[in-house]
Amino acid sequence: MHADTVSQERKRIVIIGGVACGMKAACRLRRRDPLADITVIEKGAFLSYGACGFPFYICGMVPDYKNLMDTPIGAVRDEAFFKNVKGVTALTRTAATRIDRHAKTVEVVHLETGKKENLSYDKLVLATGAVPFVPPLEGRDLRGVFSLWTMTEARAVKEFLSNTMVSQAAIVGGGLIGLEMAEALSKLGIQVSVIEKLEHIVPALLDKEYALLLTRYLESKGINIYTSDAVRKFSGSDTKMLTSLITEREEIPAQLALLSIGVRPDVTLAREAGLEIGQTGALKVTPNLQTSDPDIYAGGDCVENVHRLTRKAVYAPMGSTANKHGRVIADCIAGDDETFPGVLGTAIFKVFDYSVGRTGLSEQEAVKLGHEVMCAIVPAPDKPHFYEGARPIIIKLIAEKATGKLLGAQMVGPGDVAKRLEIAVTSLSHGGTVEELSKLDLAYAPPFAPAMDNIVTAANVLRNKLYGKSRGCSPLEVKEKLDHGDDFIFLDVRSPQEYEQMRIDHPAVKLMPLGKVRSEGQSLPMNKEIIVSCKSSLRAYEAQLMLQAQGFTNVRFMDGGILAWPFELKTGS
């Protein structure tokens, strides 16, 4: 239900946190309630900035930090803007230090003067965000070692690069922001190394084969990737300047290091006030985003969300989610019964010419949750091959084997990933199946998409596998078989010219162009397993059907073909 009239009672609203969720809540609430007394407390010096734009500011794509605080018409969102345009009092450089739930007051300290005061509230909003995880490593205080979470830190990195000769930089942590910063620093002519403690980069988002595809691409752009390695300390000069990072395996020279290991919800104030903390370590909230105190709401990076597929609590900090939270909170305070349905873990980022996206569950997550899954990896151009500017995308779909219900999607490549990712998000949001996905009435014209869109093609490939019409195996499975020396035939059905240009170099590989499979297939041993490969797996699937028609019973194709092979390839003759 929605409130039809605005209450004439002058509510006192205090919001702690003035970036995404907090300022969205303040501005939405002002539109809903013109009489409310709204005060925002922000311990930093800046309000309502786009933190996701930091890498683009640091590399110079965004010329001024104030651009990250601008409205679309160029007005800077500072204290004066919120006071004059929104009617909201925003107190920067002010820290909330204590919540008295019984008296319904918040104790604040004005950091520049040290003055304390108590602010009364009818409703309180906690939008305290998150804090970066900074391990207590030796040398952490050296000049040149930074975190990158606030506008102040972003400006400090920018200033350091302007005033210091930096030829080598290291990113500690191979997550989303870390990889975006790797590109940003590389564009400044700096040699970049990324150190990730876990087995592969972007471990929270991507399955292994997709992370390896991305690793191979980044290395082709000159980025050094170190995985399964951890930083032990930072080394510096006599002048306390960073000179290198010491890892478990080696020493990496660097004059700049960015700590991008992850974040933790900032719940200190909430915990001290006795509010319930969830199993993820973030604040527990209701679907209305109320805390365990019905007069205190919370949103953004300090709260846990519900995953829309698993219905389990997850910690998934994201600026887009924080903004949605702010709107829900404001509407609830204004009297509506508004709810937030949860998240799918959707994320997208760009590094150099590659876009990388995921939504729903990864294969690894789905299996861990007990699902028996079927996957398809399908490369294809994002437009018809004859249309100028067509670029490839490699799509991975994950589905529940018994029902065909879509569980997740991952995508990588220089093509239009965002469009296909949003289609997958919509399907997942409504509990869609792979069959339903394959029949969506998507927009078609050569400038925008092939007649059978990439995601439709991927869904059809997965349907074939679900219905037993084809049998596939992942590149990881093939690599494991090659490394173990399994006795099988790895049949490449591309042309000799394609084979000479690029190929998997292994004795198990046998070249037999697709046009010869019908006439020469019988020359292959019937008693051996055959795994067929081509450029994208389309010809490999056709070869599988040909061989099965000739009586072969142990034939599969490799998902994604050469385009999805994340390991070393031999090029040239």
Return the active site residues.
52
CB 209 within 8 A of CB 476: yes
**Burial bucket for residue 533 (CB in 10 Å: 0-12, 13-18, 19+):** buried
Q: What's the rounded Cα separation, in Å, for the pair 155 and 46?
A: 11
What's the token pair of residue 511?
């070249």
What angle, rounded to 10 degrees, do the helices at 208-220 and 475-484 form? 80
Q: How far apart are CA 423 and CA 437, in angstroms?
A: 8
Q: Strand, helix or coil at 536?
A: coil
Rounded Cα distance, 98 and 171, in Å:
36
Strand-pair category, 570-571 with 502-503: antiparallel
CA distance 424 to 346: 10
Under a CB-based contact definition with an 8 Å cutoff, are residues 454 and 463 in contact?
no
How many secondary structure helices (H) and strands (E) does the chain include?
16, 32
Distance CA 536, CA 564 (A): 7
CB atoms within 10 A of CB 130: 19
CA distances from 563 to 411, 497, 512, 569 (A): 13, 16, 18, 10
Locate tokens 């595809």: which residue? 213
Q: Which of 235, 237, 227 is nearest to 252 (CA)?
A: 235
Whole-angstrom CA distances from 461 to 402, 473, 560 are 16, 13, 11
Q: DSSP letters along 444-491, please?
A: --TTT--SS-HHHHHHHHHHHHHTTS--EE-HHHHHHHHHHT--EEEE
